[in-house]
Amino acid sequence: MKTYLAVPADVRADIWRHLLSDAQDREQAAFMFVRSEAAEGEGIYRYVEWTPVPHDGFEYRSSAYIELTDDTRATVIKRAHDLSCSLVELHSHTGRWPAAFSWSDIEGLREFVPHVLWRLKGRPYFAIVVARTGFDGLVWAPDSEKPNLLGGIHAGSDLLVPTALSRWNGHGHD
């Protein structure tokens, strides 16, 4: 079963605009909160709200790497818990290459995702990397150590498909 996000087109455009807006070409980040919607043969998670990571929400930020503060992480996990939502982490890559998670992204996700899955008590975790030419997305089911590829994003009437270029354990997606 593939997993999809359903986001209003204008909201998706606002999030992408935020992620790709830094005048100094530094990576940006945001979080989206989504809730499961029963659909025959598909896992669809519908948009509830989103929040940009503010300038002071980063421990470190450059054109190639970001690290969030512990307070930022705790705040978004608590918000997801309070909303009974799954959490979607989004960040940008500012170069001209196609969207794919970097080695440092994968290492950060290996460290962070198990904690979030435990805190969200049975709800999946999503990670999306956005570039100017597209996006890639991964989904962790609550009982899985490895992610699956996000099926896509329904943005209004459009279905946006990920690049599927990211690699986990060097072997691609299962």
Q: Please tell me the predicted confidence (pLDDT) of residue 144.
A: 82
Enumerate the β-bridge partners of residue 39: 42
Q: Please tell me the predicted confidence (pLDDT) of residue 37.
A: 83
pLDDT lower than 70: segments of the chain: 38-42, 169-174
Q: What is the pLDDT of residues 101-144, one digit of tens each?
A: 999 999 999 999 999 999 998 899 999 999 999 999 999 998 88
Please, is 41 exposed, middle or buried when counting C-beta atoms within 10 Å of its C-beta (0-12, 13-18, 19+)? exposed
Q: Please tell me the predicted confidence (pLDDT) of residue 174.
A: 37
- Cβ-proximal residues to 145 (8 Å cutoff; 6+ apart), any chain: 114
- Cβ-proximal residues to 85 (8 Å cutoff; 6+ apart), any chain: 33, 34, 35, 48, 123
Q: Please tell me the predicted confidence (pLDDT) of residue 25.
A: 87
Tell me how far apart the alpha carbons of residues 71 and 155 are, in angstroms, rounded to a whole number.
Answer: 30
Q: Hey, what domains does the chain have and what are their CATH numbers?
A: 3-160 (3.40.140.10)
Q: Please tell me the predicted confidence (pLDDT) of residue 4.
A: 96
Tell me how far apart the alpha carbons of residues 99 and 161 are, in angstroms, rounded to a whole number.
Answer: 11
Please give the single-letter amino acid code of residue 93: H
Q: Please tell me the predicted confidence (pLDDT) of residue 38.
A: 67
